[in-house]
Amino acid sequence: MTASQKIWALHLGLIAVLFAAQYVLPPYHATNLARIMVLSIFAMGYNIAFGYTGLLSLGHALFFAAGMYGMGLSLTLLGWTALPALIAGLVAGGLLAGAVGVLALRTAGVSFMIVTLMFAQAGYLALLYFGTITGGDEGFNPDRSLRMIGSLDLSADTPRYLVALGLFALALLLCLWLVRSPFGRVMVAMRENEERSRMLGYNPFAIKLITLVLSGFYAGLAGAAYGLLFGYVGATFATIQYSILPMLYVLLGGAGTVIGPFLGALAMFYLIDLASGITDAYFFVVGAALVALVLFAPKGILGALRERGVRWLP
Amino acid sequence: MTKDFSAQGLTRRTLLKGTGAGLLASAFAAPVWAQAAPIKLGFQLHRTGIGAAYGRWYERTAQAALTTINAAGGINGRPVEIVFEDDGTDPKRGAEVVEKLTSQHGCDLIFGPLFSHVVIGSAPRAGELKVPYLVCSEGYHVASGMLNRWTMQPGITDVRAQVSSMAPWVLANLGKKVTMVFPDYAFGYDHRDFFTAAVQAGGGEVIAQIAIPPTETTFTRYLPQIPAETEVLYHVMVGPAVLTFVKELGEFYGSGARPQIFGFIDSLEAVDTAAPGLEFLEGTHFWEAHNRVKQADASEHEVAYRAAVGVDDNGASVSDAKDVSTYSHMFSVWETLHVIKAGMEASGYQTSADRQKFVEAVEAMSDMPESAAHVQGAKKFNGKTHQVFGHQMISKVEGGKLMRVHKTTMEDGMYDDAVDYTTQSF
């Protein structure tokens, strides 16, 4: 089996396993998996910026929330149906990432982290300030009658799972194509040595901006899908916590790997779920797990596997 | 070797026989209890996160109510157990907890969350799972029609009723020109909108509305915005900021003349009103839903409730005088659990297939007289809006303690229905 065949077998196999999982898993875990798949899209977007291009952002909650509110407000204020609203959310995430990128990409490293963090904080406060439209800190619930794509009721478990899986599969395969494309190689070149890439004739600012917009599209899609599938649009999703989470998912699963964000989201979700059943200090458990990760597998689960022989992992 | 129990008129044989008979009898004495599966209630708890101070006391109150209910025979002859799950006071985790309690733990229903954003984030999942969701949140989101038929608030009045019923007394006793200071987000806006409307209806005037952004840690630049002609300063700050706010307010007015001050106890739940730095509160007034300090006319039910939960006469834990309770909110857990008992018994609840009958039984409730189940006072439940109405208290800080000076009528807080959930399908 060639490396390419192995790659396709792995990624299509994962999608097939996830499809089958809904018939095997108890309802609680099936719904969890639907949530995890949507959060994985968010993490995949973060991975495109951070894992492949080296852009360590602390502002991705802004793009996730842009998608969520872009979708939610399209439903409630503009009277759009669910599918156009979902696309509006995706576009909102990408556009906002572009706008932030034009300014924030003038900086790099720690400064980039701080500038993106400031934009995200400004976005969060704007959601509170325009509370009459956004619902402020309380947020709002899109009516169940609006959460329909054609005759598909997204508040019902099976359609919700299938839509989450469909979006996840689309995002995963697009990501796989992207990182194996020539542009994907250039992204990695930016991460590894920006100056040498510039010398070779690439425009780092343009490449990073495009990457950030792509990442924003992913985050926007994830935010829109989360709001639509689970029926809540709220400002909490714009807080710093939701900028840190995708970073942790990516670090845990393996930065710069296509499946890593999914594995990271899955592991982190269940780490919190299980640890919270044992102790109130479950974030301590999460913290301890991350410290152990940094000490023993600094490149994450799949990064460690890739180093130990599975070198074909994209 | 034989042991002589003859001094007590007993032989070992008699003793063994008696013990055996006793064990046998006890096995038959409660056969139903021993065999009946418990009714399992899920508690969505703010054990961590911003609501942790409330969560700690909500859990204690739930445990006390559970002990009381089980000691009196449980619900429908079955023992009751509560499964607590921490939601981190986070709406995303809240929805997951609703799912976990329902699907994984197999709870018959869910109750207990307080913070509005968590309730609004979790209620859709409760509706989708068709599981009764009884909140202790005091938000107007239930009665406004924002949620769904499975979500009810039978244990505590909402902020609209609280604010509206305060206004007539404030205008009659403290002054007619009011300046409001409130947090610049939804919780503050509820106060701003409903209190302003009630003041205008009562012939008063809100002369300034000062919204404080949630990121502020000092308030000195906002205090000069309080107009000099202010007769009543209405404040409702939440979180640790309230301590700074009160301290800076004291420094701002110094020993000179100050307006009358009226606040919501939400600012000072779990905080000792006699704590250093809060001296400026002396002589000011507060809304309380339930008097933290035991009043001279406390009912026998109130006294029994206080003892059951483990709260002393000052409103702190009996085991730690520094551990001040969230007394104005936590009674809602006690009362909600008793409404659950009444609703399950009225509907003949047996299995999760009876959840709809339970909701209908609660919707059919109306008068709830003051009793061991309703320790805060009499209430009236509106089945159409899924919201309960009750009495409110106004207290004055005297010697560092909150002493009641007024109790509203139930009608003071009532308003027109904004929704009829009973017309919605399940």
- Which DSSP state fits B113? -
- pLDDT band for B245, please (50, 70, 90 cuts): confident
Whether the per-residue pLDDT at B4 is higher than 70: the answer is no
Among B47, B121, B214, select the one facing A232 at the smallest CB separation: B121
Q: Per-residue pLDDT for A97 more than 80?
A: yes
Query: Higher pLDDT residue, B324 or B246?
Result: B324
Nearest to B116 by CA among B148, B86, B91: B91
State the CB neighbour count (10 A cutoff) for residue B26: 10
Task: Give whichever of A87-91, A188-192, A275-279, B19-23 has the largest mean pLDDT.
Answer: A87-91
Q: Give the span between the Cα atoms of B418 and B426, in whole angstroms.
A: 19
Which residues, 6 or more positions from A257, have their beta carbon under 8 angstroms from its beta carbon? Answer: A47, A51, A300, A302, A303, A306, A313, A314
Helix (H/G/I), strand (E/B), else coil: B352: helix
pLDDT in tens, A111-121: 999 999 999 99
Q: Which of A36-45, A154-163, B13-22, B114-123 has the lowest mean pLDDT?
A: B13-22
> Which has more confidence, A286 or B40?
B40
- In the block, tokens 């919201």 appear at B387
Mean pLDDT, range A29-36, rounded to an integer? 96
Which residue, A44, A68, A5, is CA-closest to A232? A68
Lowest-pLDDT choice from A92-106, B230-244, B406-420: B230-244
Decide: residue B22, CB within 10 A, 0-12 exposed, 13-18 middle, 19+ buried. exposed
Burial class (CB in 10 A: 0-12, 13-18, 19+), B8: exposed
Domains of chain B from N-terminus onward = 36-157+329-390 (3.40.50.2300), 160-288+394-406 (3.40.50.2300)
Question: Distance between CA B181 and CA B245 in Å, rounded?
Answer: 10
Question: Is B127 close to A135, i.e. CB distance below 8 A?
Answer: no
B-chain residues near A27 (CB < 8 A): 103
State the Cα angle at B242 between B86 and B156, rounded to 5°. Answer: 50
Over residues A228-236, the mean pLDDT reads: 95
Q: Which of A125, A138, A271 is the best substitution to test chain B (most B C-beta atoms within 10 A)?
A: A138
In this prediction, residue A4 carries a pLDDT of 84
A50: left (phi over 0), alpha (psi -120 to 50) or beta: alpha
- Give A-chain residues touching B147 at CB under 8 angstroms: 141
Write out the two tokens for B425: 């399908």
Chain A CB contacts of B104 under 8 Å are 26, 28
In this prediction, residue B35 carries a pLDDT of 59
Q: Report the interhelical angle of A110-129 vs A60-76 (nearest 10°).
A: 30
Residue B123 with chain A: CB contacts under 8 Å: 141
Shortest CA distance from A277: residue in chain B: B85
| Model pLDDT, residue B392 | 96
How high is the pLDDT of residue B334? 97
What does the pLDDT read at residue B93? 93
pLDDT of residue B254: 84
Q: What is the pLDDT of residue A131?
A: 86
Do residues B230 and B177 lie in contact, with contact meaning Cβ atoms separated by under 8 Å? yes
| Confidence at B92, pLDDT banded by 50, 70, 90 | very high
pLDDT score at B27:
46
Which has the higher per-residue pLDDT, B13 or A284?
Answer: A284
* Residues of chain B found within 8 Å of residue A161, distances taken between Cβ atoms: none
Is the model's pLDDT at B372 over the cut of 60?
yes
Q: Which of B90, B93, B103 sits opposite A27 (nearest CB)?
A: B103
Residue among B99, B139, B185 whose CB faces A131 most closely: B185
Strands of B260-264's sheet in order across: B205-212, B177-183, B232-235, B260-264, B285-288, B393-398, B401-407
Spatial separation of the C-alpha atoms in residues B285 and B394, rounded to whole Å:
7
- Contacts A–B by Cβ distance under 8 A: 93
Cβ–Cβ under 8 Å, residues A73 and A282: no
Cβ contacts of B189 on chain A, cutoff 8 Å: 131, 136
Residue with tokens 């000011």: B284
Out of A238-247, B116-125, B251-260, least confident range: B251-260
Whether the full predicted model's pTM is greater than 0.90, yes or no, is: no
Q: State how far residue A293 is from chain B, nearest Cα, in angstroms.
A: 24
| Average pLDDT estimate for A240-247 | 93
- In whole angstroms, what is the distance from residue B163 CA to residue B190 CA? 9
Chain A residue numbers with beta carbons less than 8 Å from the beta carbon of B103 are 26-28, 31
Q: Which residues of B touch A231 (CB under 8 A)?
A: 124-125, 128
Which of B86, B96, B107, B119 is the mutation pick for testing A, counting most A CBs within 10 A?
A: B96
Cβ of B215 within 8 Å of Cβ of A35? The answer is no
Query: Phi, psi at residue A149, to the nearest 5°?
Result: -115, 105
- Over chain A, what is the mean pLDDT? 93
Calculate how close chain A gets to B144, using CA atoms only, in Å: 12
Average predicted confidence (pLDDT) for chain B: 89
Domains of chain A in sequence order: 3-307 (1.10.3470)
Predicted local distance difference test score (pLDDT) of residue B352: 94
Model confidence band, residue B246 (pLDDT cutoffs 50, 70, 90): confident
**Secondary structure (DSSP) of B31-97:** HHHHHSPPEEEEEEE--SSTTHHHHHHHHHHHHHHHHHHHHTT-BTTB-EEEEEEE-TT-HHHHHHH
Which residues of chain A approach chain B closer than 8 Å at the C-beta? Answer: 26-28, 31-32, 35, 125, 128-129, 131, 135-141, 144, 155-157, 230-232, 234-237, 272-273, 276-277, 280, 282-283
Say what the pLDDT of residue B7 is.
42
Does residue A256 contact residue A91 with C-beta atoms inside 8 Å?
Answer: no
Among B86, B116, B184, beta carbon nearest to A128: B184
Q: A-chain residues within 8 Å CB-CB of B96?
A: 32, 35, 273
Q: Which of B215, B329, B367 is nearest to A126 (CA)?
A: B215
> Distance between CA A36 and CA A211 in Å, rounded?
23
- Could you give the CA distance from residue A77 to residue A63 in angstroms, rounded to a whole number? 20
Measured between beta carbons, the chain B residues lying within 8 angstroms of A274 are: none
Residue B17 confidence (pLDDT): 55
- What pLDDT is recorded for position B29? 47
Which of the residues B114, B119, B158, B185 would you substitute to probe the A interface, choosing the one with the greatest number of A C-beta atoms within 10 Å?
B185
Q: What is the pLDDT of residues A298-313, one digit of tens each?
A: 888 888 888 887 788 8
- Whether the pLDDT of residue B1 is over 80: the answer is no
Distance CA B246, CA B110 (A): 37
How far is the alpha carbon of B100 from chain A, nearest alpha carbon, in Å?
Answer: 6
CA distance B304 to chain A (A): 30
pLDDT tens track for B397-413: 999 999 999 999 999 99
Cβ separation of B185 and A28 shorter than 8 Å? no
State how far residue A150 is from chain B, nearest Cα, in angstroms: 19
Q: Which residues of A touch B120 (CB under 8 A)?
A: 135, 138-141, 232, 234
Average confidence (pLDDT) over B379-390: 97
Residues in chain B with CB shorter than 8 Å from the CB of A129 are 184
A286 pLDDT more than 90: no
Element (H, E) at B404: strand B401-407
Query: How many Å lie between the alpha carbon of A192 and the closest alpha carbon of chain B?
Result: 36
The pLDDT, as a whole number, for residue B13 is: 55
> Between helices A204-230 and A60-76, what is the axis angle to 10°?
50
**Looking at the partner chain, which of B86, B139, B141 has a beta carbon nearest the beta carbon of A280?**
B86
CA distance to partner chain A, nearest, from residue B116 (Å): 6
pLDDT digits (tens, 9 = 90+) for A33-73: 999 999 999 999 999 999 999 999 999 999 999 999 999 99
Which residue of A lies nearest to B95 if distances are taken between CA atoms?
A230
Span B45-86, pLDDT tens digits: 999 988 888 999 999 999 999 999 999 999 999 999 999 999
Q: For the beta carbon of residue B257, count every other beta carbon within 10 angstroms.
A: 7
What value does the mean pLDDT take over residues B150-179? 94
- How does residue A12 score in pLDDT terms, banded at 50, 70 and 90? very high
Identify which has the larger pLDDT, B118 or B243.
B118
Position A156 scores a pLDDT of 93
Q: How far is CA A23 from CA A17, A34, A52, A267, B415, in A?
A: 10, 13, 34, 21, 49
Is pLDDT at B28 greater than 60 in this prediction? no
In tens, the pLDDT along B252-305 reads 988 888 999 999 898 788 888 888 878 888 999 999 999 999 999 999 999 999
